[in-house]
Chains A and B, each alone.
Chain A
Amino acid sequence: MHKVLRFLSARLDGETQGTLASHVDALMRGVYFEEDRQSKNFRDAQQAGWTVSQIEILCSLNAFYQIVLGPLTAATRSELNVGLGRTTPITYGSRVRVDQAESDEIKECHVKFMQMIQKLGIDFWCLQASHSQDLLYRLANPR
């Protein structure tokens, strides 16, 4: 597991850590496959300055966004007239409560993450790619 993913997942439960690791493994298997066959996208991504180690960082961030931050932020996006999830909190079982305070915290967390990603020069699309080929294509063809 890359240091980046270790830091991000240190306080997550074992099940989620496992899901994150599997997600990164799946993406990296695809990257190694493209490396082995020296595909055009892989070569172009390399020419654009991306190393396999750096791509593993992107895969770790992709996993974190797709499995943790994206789903979590989902519950905070809507601004409903009826106020559900804000003035009227939502309780989902005994552990989940979505209200104004929680939404604000998650939103701030999301904003900080996105600002950090932008500052590091990472295209948001890299966090959305669901396949290594798409990721390599984006790295090979920056916007």
Chain B
Amino acid sequence: MSKKQKKTWEQKVIDAIEKFASDYAVVYSKKERELAAHFEIGCLLSLIEFYETCGFTGTVCNEDTDGSYRYLTTPSGNPENFSYMLMTKGANAFEIRQQVRISSHVAADVFFTPDIVVIPHKTKVRSKKDPDYAGGKRTFFFVKSKEVIAAHECKSMPPFPELLVSFIGMLVVGHEWFDRPDADELIVEDGDHLAPCLFVGGSARSIHLKMIKALKSAYPMNIVVGMHSGTWNLLGEHATVVRLRNPLKLD
């Protein structure tokens, strides 16, 4: 009788993966855009969790007819028609919205759309028709950078130096408070707000972690890496996020 051959490690992996794929492909087989959407939603939930941990109560506003949170997925939609989170603590109330375009204070024609934006409650979303936007046929929605508490961006990819540095542009262009000479005074250990944050899916190499630490000490911003691997609790044991008091209430 022949001896049964022992499986190699490679064969064991292949067999296990074949079984896993057969059992779960229906769950994980999503289009690239859908995967990115899940990541973005994850970042939003993480941010809400930050605020809940800071003592804020969240309320879903503008729900869809079926009671679901209707996520604005593109800046071409009117934010007033989509859901947002209202966060309150005493008299302190602000909104967390998605895909709201920001009109920058640096120059009249500078606009951009971060994935998530935090603005005071009842901030007016402005609209205009610009002949250079969709031939003037579609409405252009935006808020002003002087109304922005924090703009956050989500990148489901490994971190690399150019990505990390480019977030400074968003910080400078999207937050009028950044230009104030006393902007440094905004940073406080128990601040209610997460400083503008770049959420990155991939984990960082040691050299990039040093770079992130250096950037965070030079600018009032956060770069949170390793979101794919479970860095979800922004106030967890090893978290070192930069927190701000409300930058629109400095005076």
Binding site for B on A (CB under 8 A): 3-4, 7-8, 10-13, 15-16, 19, 53-54, 57, 65-82, 84-85, 88-93, 95-99, 105-106, 108-109, 112-113, 116, 119-121, 124, 127-131, 134
Contact = CB atoms under 8 A, between A and B. Distances in A.
A91 B42 contact: no
A104 to B, nearest CB: 10
A57 B9 CA distance: 10
Nearest to A134: B205
A91 B70 contact: yes
Given A11-B21, A75-B41, A88-B60, 14 more contacts: A8-B25, A15-B32, A54-B9, A71-B201, A72-B30, A73-B38, A77-B46, A84-B58, A84-B60, A88-B68, A91-B64, A96-B38, A127-B229, A128-B229
Interface stretch (B12-20, B101-109, B125-133, B144-152): B12-20
9 contacts: A68-B28, A75-B45, A78-B49, A78-B232, A82-B58, A88-B67, A93-B73, A128-B228, A130-B158
Nearest to B20: A116
Contacts of B48: 78, 80, 82, 84
A27 B54 CA distance: 40
B209 to A, nearest CB: 12
Interface in B43-61: 43, 45-46, 48-49, 52, 57-60
B165 interface: no
Nearest to A20: B32
Contacts of A89: 66-69
B52 A82 contact: yes
A112 B24 contact: yes
A78 B226 contact: no
Contacts of A105: 27
A131 B160 CA distance: 11
Contacts of B34: 95-96
Contacts of B43: 74
B112 interface: no
Given A15-B31, A89-B68, A116-B16, A98 B38 contact: yes
Contacts of A82: 48, 52, 57-60, 85
Contacts of B59: 82
A-B pairs, top 3 by smallest CB distance, nearest first, are: A74-B42, A70-B228, A130-B158
Contacts of A8: 17, 20-21, 25
A120 B29 contact: no
A18 B247 CA distance: 43
A93 B203 CA distance: 28
A80 B49 contact: yes
B159 interface: yes
Contact of B69 (A88, A106, A108): A88
B58 A72 contact: no
B23 interface: yes
Most buried by B among A72, A92, A127: A92
B13 A57 contact: yes
Contacts of B227: 70, 74
A68 B205 contact: no
A90 to B, nearest CB: 5
A102 B227 CA distance: 20
Nearest to A128: B203
Most buried by B among A53, A77, A116: A77
